[in-house]
Amino acid sequence: MKYVKELLSTDLATEGQLLIVRKIYDTLIEEVDKRLIPRTEAKFVAGPSAIPGSSLDIDRETPDTMLVRATAEGADIALDNSAYTSINVKPVKYGVGVRITREMQEDGKWNLLESNIRTAGKRFAENENKLVLTQLDTAANTVTGGAAITIANITRGMQYLEDSDFEPTTLFVGNEVLNDLRNIDTFVEADKLGSREMLDRGFVGRLYGMNVVRFSSSGQAAPSTTYSKYAYVTDRSEAYMIAEKRPMTIEKFDLPSNDMSAASITQRIAVKALRTSAICNITTT
């Protein structure tokens, strides 16, 4: 009897073998969603109906190009007019294919095809986030900070926009910059901030009139993990636009010769900075 008890102890038996039952949880625990920049931060999103061809031309008025001059009595009034520039935005096709054998469909614990399609949807959203960050990098001005972001870095970035008559509306922050903000007592102590928001939520939603938007820099959500050290001050009404010729499209089909179920997921999209002076990049080391 003693020998049997020893065999039944978890120290000697092995889970999944004859003595101890191992239950396999039949629900897939999916990866966590990343923090992505919402589309509402773009000046506008041009959909398929706004892009009849393969690209979209956007005309812009050049600031401060029409002048008013003093004119003497009886003299000809000086002629002048605004200047204009045009940019071309051509959506790029992105895609991924999913192939699942019939055996995997029959034997799998969950619907592998549907699961992979859901994950693909996340990847397309992360790719869009990366495209936005790439365009924010074209900022006309950059504030180079030290090991941690400071209040002076943020307000200088705001001033760069204001010097060009833009309105700072949004502060995008990577995770490391967010950590810096959490360690600035002005944004933590209730007697200075005027609330307990940072202590209660670990995040302040508005600073100096700007919405604070946190973005992920892991995986495909950013060009590199270094973006965790970056912040951007933008004017939401002027900074960038999104052109989406083809929204994320899923086409399911079968491959009888390979005994597979399959799906092709594609999207045609581009992000373009409209006014680089409406963007300021803040870097930390």
pLDDT digits (tens, 9 = 90+) for 170-199: 999 999 999 999 888 877 665 566 666 766
- Residues of the chain with pLDDT > 70, as a percent, come to 85
Q: What is the pTM of this model?
A: 0.86
- Per-residue pLDDT for 113 more than 70? yes
For residues 238 and 107, which has the higher predicted lDDT (pLDDT)? 238
Q: How far is CA 277 from CA 45, 156, 163, 241, 282, in A?
A: 20, 13, 9, 14, 14
Instruction: Provide the CA 163 distance to its chain's centre, in angstroms.
Output: 27
Residues shown for the chain: 285
Phi, psi of 258 (to 5 degrees): -105, 0
Cβ within 8 Å of residue 117, ≥6 positions away: 98, 250, 263, 265
- Per-residue pLDDT for 2 more than 80? no
* pLDDT at site 206: 85
CA distance 49 to 88: 17
- Per-residue pLDDT for 267 more than 90? yes
* pLDDT at site 153: 97
Average pLDDT value over all residues in the chain: 89
Burial of residue 94, with CB atoms counted within 10 A of its CB: 0-12 exposed, 13-18 middle, 19 or more buried:
middle
> What is the band of 109 on the pLDDT scale with cuts at 50, 70, 90?
confident
pLDDT per residue as tens digits for the range 52-102: 999 999 999 999 999 999 999 999 999 999 999 999 999 999 999 999 999
